[in-house]
Chains A and B, each alone.
Chain A
Amino acid sequence: MTDPLLTVEDLNVTFPGRETAVRAVRNASFTLGRERLGIVGESGSGKSTTGRALLGLVPRPGIVTAKTMSYAGQNLLQCTERDWQRLRGRRMSMVMQDPKYSLNPVKTVGAQIGETCLLHLGMTRKQAAARTLAMLEAVRIRDPELTYQLYPHQLSGGMGQRVMIAMMLVAEPDFLIADEPTSALDVTVQNEVLRILDDLVSERGMGLIFISHNLTVVSSFCDRVLIMYGGKIVEECAARDLQNARHPYTRALVAAAPSLDIQRTELATVTRDPEWLK
């Protein structure tokens, strides 16, 4: 980790409301190298909004401000819509949570993945088809030729998630945001999908932001973890040290999860302190 791929300083995302504005992300600062960075937090903690802000995908009327937000030397704050189009899909992409809602239901798998090749890589249709098949094979889909012709509703959850990963990786971006990529999957399938992501990080030297609410997965999969609460990064630690985290919120989250190793008669509940947001 010499040069950070991504530098974020003082990121704020605000959604103006009638009376008060909702501050979805508050003064978030972090860097990402060629590593697996986890972001954990509960629903509404701003973890997905952080991911979207990095790709310029915060929906209106959301306002994104930051002191610095740069990716491989490029200032993301001054990107025009045209610049974003050149970056997104080509240099950076995002895997969404649920393949059921994130794939185009009226296009075949092959056409959807191929589109990226045609659009970003300037390939011919034939090259695009070949590359799509190779990519489907890379995410360990058993029968790429068959899957190529299927529509999203004909795929199982695990297959759909692999198709999404294939689509996001076909242009070989060097920065990927995975937003709860395995939450909709069974545990055994979840590990297969994680293994694919893991190989891509170590083989291609990709930077990965892994957003999840599952502490077990994050602590075993990521290198570093950011813990978000109410839009604020309350703690940053090495993933394997998550059990020994210092912040009371992180500690409470760890204690609230039932565990296969320790029998607890009662689970700890989280007592929230308004001080945490100051």
Chain B
Amino acid sequence: MIAVDDLNVTFHNGGRSIHAVQGISFNVAAGETFGIVGESGSGKSTVLKAIAGLVPSTSSVLEVDGRPAARRRSRAERRLLQLVFQDPYASLHPRQTVDGILREPLVIHGVADIDDKVMAAIADVGLLPMHRFRYPHQLSGGQRQRVAIARALILRPPVLLLDEPTSALDVSIQAEILNLLANLRQSYSLTCILVSHDLAVVAHLCNRIAIMQLGKLVEIISAADLRSGTVTADYTRELIAASRGFTRAPSQNQVVLS
């Protein structure tokens, strides 16, 4: 569904240039959920933005659904994928109601039966009809992220790109959003790329996981490998150890609670 070969992204800032993504290649099959993990500055979000066409990139292959994903895209190509961003407090228009936010993509793409579609989208993400005319500031963080997901899915895209969708939320709310994503993935038969710094979240939702460090791909492993610790790169091992909690001595490999 998504093919990426030798993806490079360079940002120019004054006289300096930053090679944020360096020769990344991977494929995501239809219906698969692919995870990308890494620390801040590893370029994981930039990969997503490059696929979405939000940053200029060069590559030998960058395809979504068999079509080249260029910087300039036709309306039909833009319907293929949607993004959900990290911070639901920043990514929703503060002066628009939920109805306005959900309606906009439908109007842009000239879709019929807008009212019904908005109501259906609200129900699909577990919100109530009474939320339809609320403003984002009248909703909780979890509810806002539900609105962002509803907006992303309202055009029924085959591909959903998720950039840290739960890292601004409490554990209990994160559980609700992750369950929602798992259910929607099934009912909408979505192909997803999930970017996160949280290994447990990625292992929970994804089939295969790419580990990135400083713009480079370290390795691609399966979720089962991640759980069992059968990895080849030292960096991945270090990342897994660090996510399992605090250890008194750096080398000591004590058993800690999950």
Contact = CB atoms under 8 A, between A and B. Distances in A.
Nearest to A253: B171
Interface string B138-177: 0000000000000000000000000000000011101110
B142 to A, nearest CB: 10
A242 B256 CA distance: 11
A229 to B, nearest CB: 11
Contact of A198 (B170, B174, B178, B248): B248
Contacts of B221: none
Please classify how large the interface on chain A is, using the bins under 10, 10 to 19, 20 to 34, 35 or more. 35 or more
Contact of B258 (A190, A253, A262): A262
Nearest to A193: B246
B245 A186 contact: no
Interface string A61-80: 00000000000000000000
Nearest to A221: B246
Interface in B184-211: 197-201, 203-204
B250 interface: yes
B232 interface: no
Nearest to B203: A260
A20 interface: no
Contacts of B246: 191, 194-195, 198, 217, 220-221
A167 to B, nearest CB: 23
A267 B179 contact: yes
A253 B204 CA distance: 16
B116 interface: no
B182 A263 contact: no
A209 B13 CA distance: 42
Contacts of A253: 171-172
Interface stretch (B20-28, B68-76, B101-109, B236-244): B236-244
B227 A261 contact: yes
Interface string B207-228: 0000000000000000000110
A42 B179 contact: no
A256 B172 contact: yes
A42 B244 contact: no
B91 interface: no
Interface residues of B, number: 34
Contacts of A266: 179, 182
B250 A213 contact: no
B175 A220 contact: no
A242 B257 contact: yes
Contacts of B199: 187, 260
B40 A260 contact: no
A274 to B, nearest CB: 16
Interface in B33-76: 39-40
B247 interface: yes
B40 A269 contact: no
Contacts of B247: 191, 220
A194 B258 CA distance: 17
Given A269-B175, A269-B176, A260 B242 contact: no
23 contacts: A186-B40, A190-B242, A216-B258, A217-B246, A219-B245, A219-B256, A220-B245, A221-B245, A242-B257, A243-B257, A243-B258, A256-B171, A258-B198, A259-B258, A260-B199, A260-B200, A260-B203, A260-B240, A264-B204, A266-B179, A267-B175, A267-B204, A269-B172
Interface of A: 42-43, 157, 186-191, 194-195, 198, 213, 215-217, 219-221, 240, 242-243, 252-253, 256-264, 266-270
* 10 tightest A-B CB contacts, nearest first: A220-B245, A258-B204, A267-B175, A256-B175, A186-B39, A270-B172, A259-B258, A187-B242, A220-B246, A42-B170
